[in-house]
């Protein structure tokens, strides 16, 4: 999206679609209306500080309004009503609502108290509620029996997996913003910066605080790259490998990008592994097409990773055989990707059907978050990885299959941690569009 007018037009279409899909979900579950709250702050135990607020995803699906206790009322045949909670307060900033392209799409009110806000969404009929303020909803008489109704929520979760043009535009902006940070991180790494210094360079380039990021940055030098969700920020400088997993937000929508970079003094074999995985990742992206079950893509990733490790001499058998023997799993222990949108790990990746239910992951990949069949308008990540994690490799050092692995090469590469390459892709009718590569 390049202009406010474009955002306004795409957003109007997005809201019209949300109205249609929500009306259908209400009809299927025999509700007359739905109230969604933006969420309540979570206060740490025996403390007076709140955790950073993550707005209720179903609220954020409708409106990019930050903050707690806002309310949204959706009724079939009516313009959605948005109530902004804005108490008079001198402790925290409660500035006036700025000019926004989305306000005109709502019957908009402001409330000074929470009681006033709930009165403004009171309506007749059987009303459902979604959010983490069920007690307040019941006290206001808004929802007696429909708090976080399982089937209604599942139907709305399912719809969230198909992105509108407005949502894709927001995610592309988030890709662009994150790319500024990734470039700054690489420049800092090339100058010998520490993990902490690289983190600061990323935040400065993106122009936000840590709380504004969709998730905490993973910035790992060398062996720390083998810790999948590494959050330490060491001050030790001059790493030979940088694995950076970091994203950004735009109007509530996320990007999630990972790159692995090496310096010239890194082992040339590990540098070949990075190049090989980057090529492999693009090949997996090319396989994305509507109608393909995502677990088949996961299986293909294991076999291709097995072949890459065979080419480098780490494995002494084919990728297919290595996969069948369980030898690719310790090198690639996580899922290939996950749905992406308002949440980094967007919901319904394992949902069996619109009404709910679970489609479990395959036995060989228990952590796979996406088990559905790939369909047009979905957005998800493609993030293969190769790691040298001793706790996973240990059991394979002995036994009948140990001879399939060149342990001397494993030990040679282990000090460099691991490699992960991650792009975000939009599924199109013909295949996919990579949202990440045009920017980084």
**CATH code for the domain in which residue 406 is found:** 3.90.230.10
**148 and 169 share one domain:** no
- Rounded mean pLDDT of 343-372? 97
Residue-wise over 324-341: b if at least 16 C-beta within 10 A, else e?
A: ebebbbbbbebbbbbbbb
101 and 4 in contact (C-beta within 8 Å)?
yes
**145 and 111 share one domain:** yes
How much is the pLDDT for 92?
Answer: 79
Q: Kind of pairing, strands 81-85 and 71-74?
A: antiparallel
Which of 111, 144, 160 is where one domain is finished?
Answer: 160
Least confident of 9-13, 96-100, 119-123: 96-100
Total count of residues recorded for the chain:
440
282 token code pair = 């693009």
Residue 143 has pLDDT above 90, yes or no: no
Residue 29 inside a domain? The answer is: yes
CATH number at residue 136: 3.40.350.10
Residue 140 has pLDDT above 90, yes or no: no
Residue 193 inside a domain? The answer is: yes
The confidence band for 146, taking pLDDT boundaries of 50, 70 and 90, is: confident
Percent of the chain clearing pLDDT 90 (strictly above): 92
**138 and 175 share one domain:** no
**156 and 184 share one domain:** no
**23 and 94 share one domain:** yes
How much is the pLDDT for 61?
Answer: 98
- Rounded mean pLDDT of 311-326? 98
Residue 145 has pLDDT above 70, yes or no: no
381 and 340 in contact (C-beta within 8 Å)?
yes
**156 and 169 share one domain:** no
Domain range for 25: 4-160
**141 and 193 share one domain:** no
How much is the pLDDT for 189?
Answer: 98
Residue 319 inside a domain? The answer is: yes
Average pLDDT, the chain: 95
**339 and 220 share one domain:** yes
Residue 439 inside a domain? The answer is: no
Residue 440 inside a domain? The answer is: no
How much is the pLDDT for 173?
Answer: 98
- Rounded mean pLDDT of 141-147? 78
Residue 94 has pLDDT above 90, yes or no: no
**126 and 186 share one domain:** no
The confidence band for 287, taking pLDDT boundaries of 50, 70 and 90, is: very high
Which of 119, 136, 160 is where one domain is finished?
Answer: 160
**74 and 113 share one domain:** yes
Residue 94 inside a domain? The answer is: yes
Least Cα distance to 341 among 175, 199, 185 occurs for 175
Residue 329 inside a domain? The answer is: yes
* 15 vs 32: CA distance, rounded Å: 19
Residue 104 inside a domain? The answer is: yes
How much is the pLDDT for 93?
Answer: 78
Residue 2 has pLDDT above 60, yes or no: no
**145 and 182 share one domain:** no
Which of 104, 135, 160 is where one domain is finished?
Answer: 160
Percent of the chain clearing pLDDT 70 (strictly above): 98
Residue 142 has pLDDT above 90, yes or no: no
**103 and 232 share one domain:** no
Least Cα distance to 247 among 80, 383, 138, 75 occurs for 383
How much is the pLDDT for 99?
Answer: 64
Residue 174 has pLDDT above 70, yes or no: yes
283 and 303 in contact (C-beta within 8 Å)?
no
Least confident of 142-146, 190-194, 332-336: 142-146
Q: Which residue has the higher pLDDT, 160 or 48?
A: 160
How much is the pLDDT for 211?
Answer: 93
238 token code pair = 């001059």
**Structural domain count, the chain:** 2
How much is the pLDDT for 97?
Answer: 72
């Amino acid at each position: 999206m390049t202009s406010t007018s474009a955002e306004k037009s795409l957003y109007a279409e997005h809201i019209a679609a949300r109205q249609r899909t929500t009306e259908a979900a209400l009809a299927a579950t025999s509700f007359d209306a739905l109230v969604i709250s933006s969420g309540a702050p979570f206060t740490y135990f025996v403390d007076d500080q709140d955790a950073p607020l993550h707005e209720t995803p179903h609220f954020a699906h409708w409106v990019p309004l930050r903050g707690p206790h806002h309310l949204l009322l959706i009724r079939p045949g009516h313009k959605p009503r948005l109530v902004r909670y804005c108490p008079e307060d001198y402790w925290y900033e409660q500035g006036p609502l700025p000019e926004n392209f989305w306000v005109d799409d709502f019957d908009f009110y402001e409330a000074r108290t929470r009681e006033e806000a709930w009165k403004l969404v009171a309506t007749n009929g059987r009303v459902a509620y979604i959010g983490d303020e069920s007690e307040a909803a019941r006290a206001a008489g808004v929802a007696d029996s429909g708090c976080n109704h399982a089937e209604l929520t599942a139907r709305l979760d399912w719809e969230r997996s198909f992105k509108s043009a407005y949502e894709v535009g927001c995610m592309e902006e988030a890709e662009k913003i994150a790319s500024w940070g990734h470039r700054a991180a690489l420049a800092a790494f090339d100058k010998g910066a520490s993990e902490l210094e690289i983190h600061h360079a990323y935040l400065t380039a993106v122009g936000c605080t840590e709380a504004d990021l969709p998730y905490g940055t993973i910035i790992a030098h060398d062996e720390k790259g083998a810790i999948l969700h590494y959050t330490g920020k060491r001050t030790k400088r001059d790493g030979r490998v940088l694995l950076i997993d970091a994203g950004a937000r735009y109007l509530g929508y996320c990007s999630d990008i990972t790159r692995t970079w090496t310096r010239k003094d890194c082992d040339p074999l590990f540098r070949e592994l990075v190049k090989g995985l980057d090529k492999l990742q693009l090949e997996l992206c090319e396989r994305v097409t509507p109608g393909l079950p995502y677990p088949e893509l996961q299986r293909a990733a294991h076999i291709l990773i097995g072949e890459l490790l065979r080419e480098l001499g780490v494995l002494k058998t084919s990728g297919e055989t290595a996969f069948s023997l369980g030898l690719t799993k310790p090198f690639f222990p996580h899922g290939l990707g996950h749905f992406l949108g308002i949440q980094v790990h967007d919901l319904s990746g394992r949902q069996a059907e619109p009404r709910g239910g679970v489609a479990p992951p395959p036995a060989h990949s228990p952590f796979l978050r996406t088990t559905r069949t790939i369909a047009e308008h979905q957005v998800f990540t493609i993030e293969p990885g190769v790691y040298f994690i001793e706790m996973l490799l240990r059991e394979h050092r002995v036994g009948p299959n140990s001879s399939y692995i060149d342990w001397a090469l494993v030990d040679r590469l282990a000090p460099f941690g691991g490699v992960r390459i991650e792009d975000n892709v939009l599924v199109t009718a013909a295949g996919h569009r990579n949202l990440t590569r045009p920017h980084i």
